[in-house]
Chain A
Amino acid sequence: MTSRIEEITLDALLPRVFAREEMSSSKVWRKKVVLRRGGRYLVESASGGGKSSLAAFIMGSRNDYEGKLMFNGHDAKSLSISDWQDIRRSHIAYLPQELALFPELSAIDNIRMKAEISDYQDMSRIEMWLDRLGMTDRRDYLAGRLSIGQQQRVALIRSLCQPFDFILLDEPVSHLDASNNRIAAAIVEEEAERQGAGIITFSVGNPLLIDNPEKLNL
C-alpha cells in the first residue's frame, strides 16, 4: 500500500452482531457507500449504532463483519499485517473514542511516540497545535493526570502526526467546549486540506464543527 488511498468502499457492510436486525433506516449498513479522499463525512448514530465497530473495521483491528470493505477496490480482508501497519502509519490517521493514550508517559511523549512510529519530523507544527489548543503548559504532564478534555486534545494532536489520506475521528470533541471544538475543527480541516485528505468524523450528538460534512446516519 505505497500509493494513496483514494476511496474507501463499504459494500453491503454489516457487523456480524447486527446480522439478524432490520437496518433499513441506516444509510451505511447493508448499503454501498464510497468515502473519497478529500471528502468530509459526519457519521452520526445513537449509542450502540455500531460506529466504533465501523472505525475498528476500517482500522483493521476487527473483521467480524459481513459484506465487503475495500481500499481502492482491494478487499480489506486480504491485507497482510504489514499492509495494515503501513495503513496505520501513513494512510489513515485515527483518533479512537477511548483515546488510547499511555497514561505513564507525558503528553508530549505520547505525541512523540506516534511521530516516531510514523517517522513524522515536523516538531514545530506540533508545538503550534499544542499552543492553539492551550496545551503548551501541560505538555510535560503525565497523560494519566490530565483531564479528559485535555487528554482529548493530546490524542487529537497525536492523530495528526503522520501522513494520511483519511483521518478517522471517533467523537473527538465529546469533552471540549464550543471554542475548543472550533479550534480543533480548524486544525483538522487545515491539516486535511494540506495533505489532501478526507475527514471522517463520528458523533452521537456533539460533532466536530467542520464545514458542510456529508451526513451519514448509521
Chain B
Amino acid sequence: MSLISKLLRKNTSPARIAGFALSNFIGLLIVAGAVMFYIDARGIWDDDDSIVNTDFIVVNKKVTSASTLGDRDVTKFTKEDISELQSQPWVRRVGEFSSSDFRVYASVSQGGRGMETALFFESVPDSFVDMKGSGWSFETGQTIVPVMIPKDYLALYNFGFAGSAGLPQLSEQLLTGIPLKLYMRSEDGRKSMSMEGRIVGFSNRLNTVLVPDSFMQYANSQLGSDHKEAPSRLIIDVSSPGDVAISEYLSGHGLEVAGDKSGSSAAYLLKVVIGIVVSVGILITLLSVFVLMLSISLLMEKNRSVIHRLLMLGATLREVAAPYNMMIALGCVAAWILSVVALLLLRSFYSVALEGLGISSDGLIWAVATGTVLALIVIFVNIVAVNRKVKSAWALKMNNA
C-alpha cells in the first residue's frame, strides 16, 4: 500500500465508510429484492396460466336473439372483420379458432365408475400456445392427444357438480394422470375413430377444450365435411394489453373478451405495492449515494490541508483521488456482496411458498443484474465526485491567496 493511501486512510473514519456501505447495502437489497420477488412471482398476479401469454385476448361476437333463432352466421367473423382487426395499431397478429367438424364423446373409467359426455374441440395456432416441453404437439400416427381444459370447468365440477352428485373432487394433478377415451364420429356417422386423450393443462383465459392445431387439421380431414366454417372466436396478440383503445374498439364492434380477469384488484394491489417498494429502494439507494457524496465532501474538506501538502509534493490528482476511490469501491463491493447473500437468503424463505404456484427461476439473475448495475452507478457517480473535488482543490489553491 502506498504511503499516500496510508496517510489518507489515517484521516478517514472507518465508521463513515461502514455507514455508507450499510446504507448502500439496504438500498441495493430493497431494489434488487423487489425486482427478484416481482420476477419470481410474476405468474401469480399476471393472471397468466403459463400456457397463454397475457398479451393475448380472446374475442367473440355477442350472442344475440338472432343467432339463437338459427342464423349462426351472425356470430361468425368474416374475412373483412378479421382484416379490419388486423389493421388496428394495437394488434400484433390474429389467430383463428378452428372448431371440430365432427362429434366427440369422451369417457373416463376409474375404479369401476365411469362417466361419459359429449364434447367439442377447438384449436388455435400453436404459436399462441406457450407450453414448452409439456407435450403440446400432435403428429399423425400418435395415439395420445393432448387436451387443455378451462380451469373453470374443473371448478364447476368440483364445487358444483361433484358435491350434489356424490362424486369425489378431483385435483389438477389427478386429472392430468387420468386417460380419457375419445370417440370421434363424423356428422353422417359413416366414419369414426378412437383415441386416447390426456389433459396436459388448465387455462384461465381460453374458455374452450383445446387440442393442438395439427390434431384438429388431421381429425377434420379424416372426419369432417370439406366445408370450412368461418371462425366464431379469434385470439389476438395485442401490443399493449391495458390500452383503452382496445376496449373502445371491442365494445364499438359488439365484441366480447373471454376470460377477462385483468381488472383483478389483488393483482393490481400487488403491482402497486411492488412499485412502492421499488421506489422506496431507489430512494434509499439515491440517499446513500448522496450521504456518501456529502461525507466524502466533508472528509475532503477536512483533509484539504493534507491534500494541498500532497499536491505541493508533486502528487498527481489521480494519486490523491485513488485512495478515496478505492474506499468507495470497497464499500460498494462489500455492500454488493452482502446484498447478494441476503437475496439468496430471502429467496430461500419464499421459494418454498411459491413452489406450487410455478416460481420462475429468472428472479435471482435479474435481481443480481439490477444490483450490479446500481452498484456500478453508485461507484461511478462517487468516483466522478471525488475526482471533481480533488480537481477543485487544485483550482481553488491557484486562485486563493
Binding site for B on A (CB under 8 A): 17, 59-64, 81-82, 85-90, 94, 96, 100, 102, 104-105, 109, 112-114, 116-118, 162
Contacts and interface: CB of A to CB of B under 8 A. Distances in A.
Contacts of A162: 314
B312 A113 contact: no
A172 to B, nearest CB: 16
A94 B4 contact: no
Contacts of A90: 314
A116 B4 contact: yes
B240 interface: no
A96 B401 contact: no
B306 A102 contact: yes
A153 B315 CA distance: 22
A47 B311 CA distance: 26
Q: Of A90, A109, A117, which is in contact with the most chain B CB atoms at under 10 Å from its CB?
A: A117
Given A102-B306, A104-B10, A109-B6, 8 more contacts: A61-B308, A64-B399, A81-B317, A104-B7, A105-B6, A105-B10, A113-B4, A118-B314
B134 to A, nearest CB: 66
A85 B317 CA distance: 9
A162 B317 CA distance: 19
Nearest to A56: B401
A62 B312 CA distance: 11
Given A62-B398, A62-B401, A116-B2, A85 B315 contact: yes
Given A102-B7, A104-B10, A109-B3, A114 B397 contact: no
Nearest to A115: B3
Given A62-B401, A102-B309, A117 B314 contact: yes
B394 interface: yes
23 contacts: A62-B397, A62-B400, A63-B398, A81-B317, A81-B394, A82-B316, A85-B314, A85-B317, A88-B311, A90-B314, A94-B312, A96-B312, A100-B313, A102-B306, A102-B309, A104-B11, A105-B7, A112-B3, A113-B3, A113-B313, A114-B313, A117-B310, A117-B313
Contacts, number: 67
A59 B312 contact: yes
A69 to B, nearest CB: 13
B395 to A, nearest CB: 9
A15 B162 CA distance: 103
B3 A89 contact: no
B12 to A, nearest CB: 12
Given A64-B401, A102-B309, A116-B2, A89 B314 contact: yes
A105 B3 contact: yes
Q: Of B309, B313, B319, B400, which is in contact with the most chain A CB atoms at under 10 Å from its CB?
A: B313
B29 to A, nearest CB: 36
Q: What 4 pairs between A and B have smallest CB-CB spacing?
A: A88-B314, A89-B314, A113-B3, A100-B309
Contacts of B398: 60-63
Contacts of B311: 85, 88
Contacts of B315: 85, 117
Nearest to A60: B398
Contact of B312 (A64, A81, A100): A100
A89 B317 CA distance: 13
